[in-house]
Each structure stands twice: as C-alpha cells, then as structure tokens.
Structure 1
Amino acid sequence: MTLGTKIIASAHYVPSDVVTNDDLAAIMETNDEWIQAHTGIKERRMSLQGENTSDLATQAARLALAQIDLTPADIDLIIVTTFTPDGLAPSTAALVQRNLQAEHAWAYDISTACAGFVFGMSTADKFIRSGQYKYALVISAEVNSKMMDFKDRTSTVFFGDGAGAVIVSAVDEDENQVVAERMRTIGDAEVVHSGRVAPLTELSADNYPKTDAFAQLGRQVFTEVTELIPQHITEFLADQNLSPDDVDFYITHQANLRIIENIADQLVQPMAKFAANVVYYGNTSSAGIAMAFDELNRKEDLTGKKVLLTGFGAGFTYGSLLLQF
C-alpha cells in the first residue's frame, strides 16, 4: 500500500514576557520608529523566566497532543529543528522525549537555522512514507534571546522566542498532503552565524569553550533573500505545473515584514495570501513558519487549499514544501 503524510494537529507556544521596541530602546541606541520602519516588528516574546528551548518545544508538543486522541506513548519519532539548542548534547529532541515521557519515540535535532521547519517536515515525511512509523512529532523551537549581543542593535531588534509543533500521521496516498518539495544549500559561514566554538591554538589550563553571539550581515541577507527566493518559488511551482496564482496561502520564514512584502511584490501576489506573525512575535527563526502555520490552520478552513511553506536561513539553506489539503 502506498502511504502519504497528513498533518493531524498543530500548536504553538510563546513565553509570557512581551518585549516592545521601547523596551529595547531603553537598553540600546534604537527607537520604535526605526525598528518598525526597517522591520515591521512592533514587539516580540522573550524567555525571561528561565525557559529554555526544550521547555518551549515541550509546551508546544503538549498543546498539539491535547487536540487529538493520542498520548505521548503513541509517538514513534520526534524531530526538533533549532539552532538555539539547550546544548550540543544531549539533543533538544531527547530532552523533549524525556519531558513528554514518549517512551516509544526516538528523537533527534535538525539544524538548518531558519529553514528548519521545512526541512523537519520533509524528513518526517520520508520516515512516515517508509511504513515503519505511524506518528511523528515535528517541533521547531528557538530561544534566540540567549544568543543575542544586546549591544548589537542591528541584529537584536529582529528576534523573539517561540515554538511551533505539528503531529503528522501515515495515511493512504489519496489523503496525502505533502505534494512536492525542493531543498537547497549554498555553503556560507559568514553572512549569518551563531554559537561558534573556536578550536584550540595551544594547550593551557585556562582553556574553556566559549561561544560567539548571533551575528548577521543584514543588508547582504536582505539582498540574497529577495534576489533568490522569489525565483526559487517561481521555478519550483513551474515544475509542478503551477503559477504563483495557484497557491492559496504562502508561509515564508518570518525574517521581517519588509522581506515578506518584497517576496509578495515580486510574485505579484497580495499580502493577504501571506501568513505573517513577525509583527508581534519578531523573527523566531525556525519556529516562525510552524507558528504561522498553526495560526493559519486555526483561522482558515484549509480544505482544498494549496499552502506553500518556504524557509531560508543560515547556511545558506533554503527550501519549499507544497501542501495540498
């Protein structure tokens, strides 16, 4: 029997602390007018109560599980996409597995930065189609705030914390929702990077691992994304005998509102087709698409609709996944 993949539940979770542009202006040289003009962001959530990435991921997973008649013991696979993990080892997914007491699930992380949810969904789809696994939990979670240099106003003002989760199930091919995909990577270590650990240059008792804060070349990121992503989307859709007009909803990485507007303009599509939560959540890296999908899933009847997920982030890694409901 040919199997397909179906999303049977979605949820998202954000920390309770709201950080406005004025809050940031109180600790760095910036202001609300500049931030909104350049990014479209008004506020974001930050984990200021000690919640780490695995905590946000666990909460989103529990909210998704609460929507359906499944228990953690029913989950076969847990994938967490993040580039702000609790640590290098154990994986954040392993901590979520423990927190949920999902005793039958094996778990691991995927690190493709802000493209994470698309790559996580693509990976889960392959495991589901193999016939060995029935239910997979895909979670994208980020605590970007812990990686920020709060003296770097060019980067810090963009970011917020949050998590989104979906549960996917094996179904007959006629119920399949994952129609097509295209993933790409262009190796680039400098445009966006975070958490790098330098190798030793000598043996010393003073050696201790140190990580760098998040950093990006903002103007270069904007240029690369707005030149590459609309072309990527157009060509991908053309390979499916579709045009941008045929897509009902677009969910792109929630980098900033100006990038989303630029992509919409180049595709000659109305912003009403583009899910956007960046205004009040900020750039939540890999979690943004997952969170926006959950919001769209709650607001719209997606029956019969085509939804395009497009992620792009450090690496430079990007990709699209076409869903048909």
Structure 2
Amino acid sequence: MPGSKILASAHYVPNDIVTNDDLAQIIDTNDEWIQSHTGIKTRHISLQGENTSDLATQAAKLALAQAHMKPEDIDLIIVTTFTPDGLAPSTAALVQRNLAAKNAWAYDIVTACAGFVFGLSTADKFIRSGTYKNALVIAAEVNSKMMDFSDRTSTVFFGDGAGAVVMTADEHGDGIVAGEEMHTIGNADVVHSGRIAPLTQLSPDNYPKIDAFSQIGRDVFNEVTELIPQHIYSFLENKSLKPSDVDYFIPHQANLRLIEYIANALNEPIDKFSTNVIRNGNTSSAGIAIGFDELRQSVNLKGKRVLLTGFGAGFTYGSILFEF
C-alpha cells in the first residue's frame, strides 16, 4: 500500500490585529505582563464576521492553489477544531460546500490543540488504505468567539487562524510519516469550552446555553512540563533517535515560555523550534499547521526530520514524525 506525502501547505489569519495594549483597554492587564508571562505581542482576531469554516476555506483554497489541484480532486476533508461553527453540520461539511469539493466526504476531529497532529495521522491512514488518494487536512480556530473577555488569565493568550495541507498518495515510496504516538488523559476540569448543560426541567424557555473557554493555567503548565519533554524523549528513543537527530520541532503554540521550557528540557536550541505564537497568539490546533507552512515555505525540507507535537484540552497529546 502507498504511504502519504504532502503536496502543498498554506495558512490564513484574519486581517484585524489586536495588540496587548488593545487588550489592556478592556482587561486589567498590560503589555509588560503579557509579554513577560507568555511572549505574545499580537494576535489576529476575527472581527469581520469570519467564522471557523471561513478561515478553513481560505486556507484550503490557498493550499489547493499551491498544489495546482481542483476541489473536485479531493477525496477527503478533515477539519480539526474545537471552535466549530456549530455542532451540526460539521465545519468540514461547510468547507466541502464552500469549495464545491463534490467528490470529497468530510468530518471534524475534536482534540483541541493537538488536533492537527491527530488529523494528519488520520488522513495518512485513509491514504495508506489505498481507498483514497487526496486529502485536505485543515486546522482552524476562531478562539475569540469562545472567550470571556473579563477573564484575563485566558483571553490574553488566544488568537484566530487556520492552516491546511494537501496530502496525497506516495505511489513509489513509504511516504513521509516515520512514526507517531498519541495519548488521551480524560481530565475535563483543567481546560474546557462550550459545555452544554443537560435539562433539569421542561420549560418553554429552555434552549442550549454554552459556557466560555476556561482553564486552570497552573495545572495546564504543570501537566505540559511534566509530560511533554518525557513523551518526546520516549517517542524518539523508540525510533532509535535523540532530540539532536531532529532538524526542526513544531510544538503546539501555547505560549513562548512553554516552548522555551520544552527546548531547554530537550537541550536543543530554540532556533530549531517554530514560534509563530509571538505574533499570532495561541491559535489552538491551527498553531502547528501555521508553523508547518511557515517552515515549509522558508527552508528546503528535503532530507530533514520534522517533529510535530500537539498537546491540549482533554488532556490530549501526541507527536508525528516526518522524514522528507
């Protein structure tokens, strides 16, 4: 059976840029505090009515253009998001409609900030089955619509954006996926968003009400710092590799301080790590997708190893290793 390879990548962010000083006008915070704690300077926020499917569609169109493919060439569309347009139809279905990708079936994956890694893994399996040839994997988030803008512990981190790749069958090779490892630890109390409470009584005014994004920041930091460096070490060791054997790391863009911590724990220089979080903020599952596109556009990846590591709400984490 064929492996999979990546033909093209692209990303899209809303036009509106919100600075730390802008946030300080509505939240009790300031630029110095935000930068010192997160490393974030700006973030793109969807203020022109663009929803998650709109960002995803724009990123997909750019990726298809890069691949010189038509929407009807796509067999499968996977959108990874935990800020969907709605519960039904899926955001992926809306993207399929927007693109007029009439030959593709589509669905969403919800693993929060680890979503793009899980999406790539899933598309790779469908392609390896031999049943499907071309897949669009899109990570898209409009985090801003889920924020409580009185909660400075969460709101200052997040931005909106989308990234996409076109994956296709590698008919003459094993593909670029050299290994993967995924984990889930069911801990819904550390991070949650969009909870819908069940009914307690029948009433004419009952309708769904969802909650805003919420996190226990210190617990999230502790979970990441305890689990992720060891996960990367163990994952690479099982492949008879060391961190120094990896040319580039693309971790979840949670905040710059966490990325710096992971780099230090792996004893690897920070310039081997993607860091678009400084200007984009935490774009959840889209951060790795955007980072991959930026890396792919800036360097020749032939002969390189690239490790993508996602971690987020759930608690869900995992890595996928590309060898180009």
| TM tier relative to shorter chain | over 0.9
What secondary structure does 2:37 align onto? Answer: helix
1:91 matched residue in structure 2: 90
Letter in 2 for 1:322: L
CA distance in 1, matches of 2:135, 2:318: 21
How far residue 206 of structure 1 moved from its aligned partner, in angstroms, is 1.7
Matches within 5 A, 1:231-270: 231-270=230-269
Of stretches 119-128 and 201-210 in structure 1, the one that deviates more from structure 2 is 201-210
Letter in 2 for 1:86: D
Deviations 1:29-53 (A, max 9, x none): 0000000000000000000000000
CA distance in 2, matches of 1:67, 1:318: 30
How far residue 175 of structure 1 moved from its aligned partner, in angstroms, is 5.3
CA distance in 2, matches of 1:244, 1:215: 33
CA RMSD of aligned residues (A): 0.6
How far residue 124 of structure 1 moved from its aligned partner, in angstroms, is 0.1
Q: TM-score, normalised by structure 1?
A: 0.99
Letter in 2 for 1:195: G
Letter in 1 for 2:122: T
CA distance in 2, matches of 1:219, 1:159: 17
2:15 matched residue in structure 1: 16
2:54 matched residue in structure 1: 55
Residues 137, 165 of structure 2: 8 Å contact kept = yes
For structure 1, which runs of at least 5 residues remain unmatched after alignment?
none
CA distance in 1, matches of 2:99, 2:205: 39
Q: Do structure 1's residue 200 and structure 2's residue 199 form an aligned pair?
A: yes
Deviations 1:181-227 (A, max 9, x none): 00000001110000000000111112111000000000110111011
Letter in 2 for 1:121: L
Matches within 5 A, 1:22-41: 22-41=21-40
Letter in 2 for 1:171: D
Letter in 2 for 1:206: D
Residues 67, 166 of structure 2: 8 Å contact kept = no
1:132 matched residue in structure 2: 131
How far residue 174 of structure 1 moved from its aligned partner, in angstroms, is 2.4
CA distance in 2, matches of 1:188, 1:173: 42
What secondary structure does 2:66 align onto? Answer: coil
What secondary structure does 1:61 align onto? Answer: helix
CA distance in 2, matches of 1:308, 1:245: 11
1:106 matched residue in structure 2: 105
2:76 matched residue in structure 1: 77
Deviations 1:134-184 (A, max 9, x none): 100000000000000000000000000000000000013525101100000
CA distance in 2, matches of 1:80, 1:87: 13
Of stretches 234-243 and 175-184 in structure 1, the one that deviates more from structure 2 is 175-184
What secondary structure does 1:174 align onto? Answer: coil
Letter in 2 for 1:9: A
Letter in 2 for 1:151: S
1:319 matched residue in structure 2: 318
What secondary structure does 1:64 align onto? Answer: helix
For structure 2, which runs of at least 5 residues remain unmatched after alignment?
none
1:167 matched residue in structure 2: 166
CA distance in 2, matches of 1:68, 1:213: 38
Moved over 6 A (4+): none
How far residue 69 of structure 1 moved from its aligned partner, in angstroms, is 2.3
2:41 matched residue in structure 1: 42
What secondary structure does 1:167 align onto? Answer: strand
Q: Do structure 1's residue 142 and structure 2's residue 141 form an aligned pair?
A: yes
Matches within 5 A, 1:180-195: 180-195=179-194
Letter in 1 for 2:103: H
